[in-house]
Structure 1
Amino acid sequence: MDRCDELAAISFLRHGIERTYLTPEHAKHNALAAEWMKEAGMQVRVDPAGTLIGRMEGSEPGLPAVVIASHLDTVPNAGRYDGILGVLSGIAVARRLRDRAGELPFAVEVCAYGDEEGVRFGATLLGSRAMAGSWNEGWMDLEDEHGVTLEQAFRDFGLDPSQVATAAKRAEDVVAYLEIHIEQGPFLEAADQSLGVVTAIAGARRLALQIHGDARHAGGTPYARRKDALVGAAIAVQAIERIGRETGVIATVGQLEAHPGAVNVVPGRVDFSLDLRAADDALQARTWTRILQEIESTCASRGLTLTWEQIHSAPTVTCAPWVMDAVVDGIAATGDDAPMRLWSRAGHDAMAMAAVTDIGMIFVRCEDGISHHPNESVLVEDVAAGLDALEATVWSLAERVRAGRAPADGRP
């Protein structure tokens, strides 16, 4: 917890926390976390995508690794636990394992990814995607708000952009991936439980929608002749929330802008966003179809038209049963024999790493589910339980590997 406070002091903001990818703050948090990794007995390096990696060998050098990871970058005006708690918990557990590492049938690597939030360049999970071998070379042309390209940011940080592909791990080099993270939701707190087993990470679909009407003088256009795009959008937003509640799919309109935007003009066009999240891709797809049909029906009845574009799509990622079983063992070691199972409504680096290995996650209760906000808060006793559970999970994975109950290459 003290180390979370130390990292919180590294910030681009004078008041508040902000650390983004390939910035001086990134270099500072890597340097500080590297010292803690070395203290824990790990060999430390930075990979070609800027990810800090600490490695502790197992019973013999060069074994495949269990990767324990999260991120140290933040959103603007962030809290001090989202991502950070996961990296520091990994370091703390590695330190506990140090004297018994020779008993492990695998190495342990703790990774501090450089970019999960995607604040600076817009694309998310860059560090973990590079490690998973899913890097897109087109990202090098992305620019930040100052016009600096990602390629130039690599060079400024001391990295060679032509080598980023070499950050990729092979499936046979990874046994499993573990991540411990604050829940970013209220369910553990409501159930009065410290820890939870993550079953899946929500697939997400993001859309940009436009409702087109007719911009006319507000005073001179009677209701019967209006084609008010904003009224149509308002009905659509209500329908989106209602359908989301009915289906259990998380459906959010986070942006809405009326054009031309004058106080005395009937809006002729409204742009709005839609973010859909679900633990079941088929359910998400059916929900989007239902939303689309209802908005189109509203538009047809009011003389409006709808256009839309899908701007992001990520499939649901399911945690591997054998890794989830190890997580259950880990949480049981803390005294909770029936841990809550819940799916993550937020994205995590585990989503990217699922492309190369089997994943498992532990959630830690956070106050009121608050995250991406300075009011992020966790209990010391919950963090202590999380450390015990993560350590026990590693030993449970070791038992499964020794007993031949784990995939030989980390895959089902």
Structure 2
Amino acid sequence: MTLTLAQLHSADVAEATQLLDGIYEHSPWIAAQAMSERPFKSLAHLKHAMATVVNTASAQAQLDLIRAHPELAGKAMVSKSLTAESTHEQSKAGLTQCTPEEFARIQQLNADYNARFGHPFILAVRGARGTGLSKQEIIDTFARRLENHPDFERAEALRNIHRIAEIRLNDKFGVEPTLGNDVWDWQERLSQHTDPGYEELGQLTVTYLTDAHRACAQRISHWMRDCGFDEVEIDAVGNVVGRYKGAHDNARYLITGSHYDTVRNGGKYDGRLGIFVPMACVRELHRENRRLPFGMEVVAFAEEEGQRYKATFLGSGALIGDFRNEWLDQKDADGITLREAMQHAGLCIDDIPRLKRNAADYLGFVEVHIEQGPVLNELDIPLGVVTSINGGQRYVCEMTGMASHAGTTPMNRRRDAAVGVAELALYVEQRAAQDGDSVATIGQLNVPNGSINVVPGRCLFSLDMRAPTNAQRDALVADILARLDEIARRRGLHYKAELAMSASAAPSAPEWQRRWENAVDALGLPLFRMPSGAGHDAMKIHEILPQAMLFVRGLNSGISHNPLESTTSDDMQLAVDAFSHLLEQLAREHA
């Protein structure tokens, strides 16, 4: 029988606990304590309430919960003593049909894992889509997580337990994240296109105007037409633009979207999630034969990552009139100029100035994006409302000292360029941490022609400094550059610091941020506000229109720019629901 929230609300605690039996393995105390949060606004609210009970429990209670779970393909499976839920999950992942070699490998992993961590390996084997991981995916994840720190691994085990509980709750309540599954499937199918040299390695790489990039554009354009967009075009820089008209001819448009290019060997969801979530919303409007008081313009931006050419934000930049003709002479690694690549793709360079949007024709810009960080994942919160996109500055630097013999130069007479940079690196870490939301990184550090027995006379390094406001960023930059100067003077070193990039912060427009907040609250989710440390297309559109972003939780510590980048179809469904709610708010405001 399918359970409802109304049944859960009308039952006493003992009855409600029994109704949720089996959601958390052999641990009815979780459901019992979660009932204090009744009434639940939604199933998502119930899921979070139960997760919160676990996350606020004692370390021993958490460990007992982990140990209440069976090993994968372990003794309980062999003896057929698994719970019905565990039997179904392990069977769906094919673990009940292991080859002798697979079974032996998993048994060895179980033994190694238990010896290292003192509890069984926990993995939501039905996966992010709910249909089941392959046995190879399970084995690969098992082996990778063996390398984790014990504290991190215990938290990762709990996160997987929450995912198991989420899927079990879906089954008990008869809920299927249908639109989230569709968004998931679009991204899976789009990831089949990848650049030569990476396809053979099974890696996703789609850089600007390659064959794979143009194939992605074609596929997105076909899907937009299938969704019911009135107009679909690939514009003069390769953006795929779909327009769904409003109820009146003179209606303004809400513009939204994100990018479809990727970093090299990247993930499937960075950028692309922000294309397919609004596409799903438009498709539902079309199915209902419904027009809003405003139109929707969904843009799949052609370029954001700056992987093939040094110019970045080519797609969103063109929409605000920021396209510089000198970029056309830039060459990629194969010597192909940007002009040649655009001509080969059949793009009309002369039309690029016409892409600039008139702000008066638009209400604003919103963007959905995977978080690309660990915060939402660690908090077990599906959605986050972005308060600002960090402003940043990057410097390419060189520290120069004196190369000398490592054995004969006394420690107090060295002019060691690398040690000077090392001292700066420690200060960079300490200074950024003072601001809370600021971040600073020395991502490149190189001693050219270094030798094991030579004191480094030269060190090349980078500086990347970001903060939610320009004032905070400028103070961070000033302090770090001042410390660089002080270190160089004290150590008898010289330095150069060349500004390579400067981007202003893009604070969310208050009224648009509130709309996202209202949507998240309506879904019964906790409201979590956060800055974006990464750059996004929204920060370009911010120059002409009000903007605000919604973040979606990522799996695997929220890792991004990495093949392990992932999120669940349930969280994608919540993103679609939140976007739909934002549209309804706008419709009421403009009725």
- For 1:253 and 1:218, locate their aligned partners in 2 and report how far apart those are by CA, in whole Å: 25
Determine whether 1:19 maps to 2:206: yes
Per-residue deviation at 1:191? Answer: 2.3
- For 1:104 and 1:52, locate their aligned partners in 2 and report how far apart those are by CA, in whole Å: 22
Where does residue 183 of structure 1 map in the other structure? Answer: 371
Where does residue 32 of structure 1 map in the other structure? Answer: 219
Post-superposition Cα deviations, 1:21-49, rounded to whole Å, max 9, x if no partner, equal 11111111111111111111112111111
Cα RMSD for the two superposed structures: 1.5
SS in 1 for 2:590: helix
Determine whether 1:122 maps to 2:310: yes
Of residues 341, 352, 362, the one that matches 2:540 is: 352
Per-residue deviation at 1:101? Answer: 6.5
Conserved in 2, the CA contact under 8 Å of 1:57 and 1:101?
no
Q: Name which of structure 1's ranges 179-188 and 217-226 shifts more when overlaid on structure 2.
A: 217-226
User: Structure 1 counterpart of 2:475, which letter?
Assistant: R
- For 1:331 and 1:246, locate their aligned partners in 2 and report how far apart those are by CA, in whole Å: 30
- For 2:232 and 2:212, locate their aligned partners in 1 and report how far apart those are by CA, in whole Å: 19
- For 2:581 and 2:535, locate their aligned partners in 1 and report how far apart those are by CA, in whole Å: 25
Per-residue deviation at 1:97? Answer: 1.6
- For 2:448 and 2:416, locate their aligned partners in 1 and report how far apart those are by CA, in whole Å: 11
- For 2:420 and 2:524, locate their aligned partners in 1 and report how far apart those are by CA, in whole Å: 53
- For 1:247 and 1:334, locate their aligned partners in 2 and report how far apart those are by CA, in whole Å: 32
Conserved in 2, the CA contact under 8 Å of 1:66 and 1:106?
yes
Q: Name which of structure 1's ranges 165-174 and 296-305 shifts more when overlaid on structure 2.
A: 296-305
User: Structure 2 counterpart of 1:218, which letter?
Assistant: A
- For 1:400 and 1:145, locate their aligned partners in 2 and report how far apart those are by CA, in whole Å: 50
Determine whether 1:79 maps to 2:262: no
Conserved in 2, the CA contact under 8 Å of 1:11 and 1:18?
yes
- For 2:288 and 2:584, locate their aligned partners in 1 and report how far apart those are by CA, in whole Å: 11
* Unaligned runs of at least 5 residues, structure 2: 1-183
Post-superposition Cα deviations, 1:344-391, rounded to whole Å, max 9, x if no partner, equal 111111011112211121111111121110101112211111101011
Determine whether 1:258 maps to 2:447: yes
Q: What stretches of structure 1 move > 6 A for 4+ residues in a row?
A: none
For the pair shown, which has the larger CA radius of gyration, 1 or 2? 2
- For 2:322 and 2:589, locate their aligned partners in 1 and report how far apart those are by CA, in whole Å: 28
- For 1:225 and 1:182, locate their aligned partners in 2 and report how far apart those are by CA, in whole Å: 51
User: Structure 1 counterpart of 2:224, which letter?
Assistant: M
User: Structure 2 counterpart of 1:28, which letter?
Assistant: A
Where does residue 527 of structure 2 map in the other structure? Answer: 339
Where does residue 321 of structure 1 map in the other structure? Answer: 510
Where does residue 407 of structure 1 map in the other structure? Answer: none
TM-score by length of 2: 0.66
User: Structure 2 counterpart of 1:387, which letter?
Assistant: V
Where does residue 552 of structure 2 map in the other structure? Answer: 364
Per-residue deviation at 1:125? Answer: 1.0
Conserved in 1, the CA contact under 8 Å of 2:439 and 2:466?
yes
TM-score by length of 1: 0.94
Determine whether 1:216 maps to 2:404: yes
The one of the two structures with greater contact order (alpha-carbon pairs below 8 A, sep at least 6) is: 1
Per-residue deviation at 1:260? Answer: 3.7
- For 1:203 and 1:233, locate their aligned partners in 2 and report how far apart those are by CA, in whole Å: 24
Per-residue deviation at 1:254? Answer: 0.4
Determine whether 1:225 maps to 2:225: no
The percentage of counterpart residues that share the same residue type is: 37
User: Structure 2 counterpart of 1:308, which letter?
Assistant: A
* Unaligned runs of at least 5 residues, structure 1: 403-412
Of residues 482, 499, 508, the one that matches 1:310 is: 499
Where does residue 163 of structure 1 map in the other structure? Answer: 351
- For 1:94 and 1:318, locate their aligned partners in 2 and report how far apart those are by CA, in whole Å: 27
Where does residue 409 of structure 1 map in the other structure? Answer: none
User: Structure 2 counterpart of 1:41, which letter?
Assistant: G
Conserved in 2, the CA contact under 8 Å of 1:260 and 1:269?
no
Where does residue 151 of structure 1 map in the other structure? Answer: 339
User: Structure 2 counterpart of 1:286, which letter?
Assistant: A
User: Structure 1 counterpart of 2:423, which letter?
Assistant: I
- For 1:333 and 1:181, locate their aligned partners in 2 and report how far apart those are by CA, in whole Å: 20
Conserved in 2, the CA contact under 8 Å of 1:212 and 1:306?
yes
Determine whether 1:290 maps to 2:479: yes
Determine whether 1:9 maps to 2:192: yes
- For 2:406 and 2:453, locate their aligned partners in 1 and report how far apart those are by CA, in whole Å: 5
Q: Name which of structure 1's ranges 367-376 and 183-192 shifts more when overlaid on structure 2.
A: 183-192
- For 1:326 and 1:143, locate their aligned partners in 2 and report how far apart those are by CA, in whole Å: 43
Where does residue 176 of structure 2 map in the other structure? Answer: none
Q: How does 1:134-149 map to 2 (within 5 A)?
A: 134-149=322-337
Per-residue deviation at 1:329? Answer: 2.2
SS in 1 for 2:451: coil
- For 1:400 and 1:372, locate their aligned partners in 2 and report how far apart those are by CA, in whole Å: 38
Where does residue 277 of structure 1 map in the other structure? Answer: 466
Per-residue deviation at 1:256? Answer: 0.8
SS in 1 for 2:447: strand
Per-residue deviation at 1:62? Answer: 4.8
Q: Name which of structure 1's ranges 220-229 and 247-256 shifts more when overlaid on structure 2.
A: 220-229
Of residues 357, 375, 386, the one that matches 1:198 is: 386
SS in 2 for 1:236: helix
More helix by proportion, 1 or 2? 2
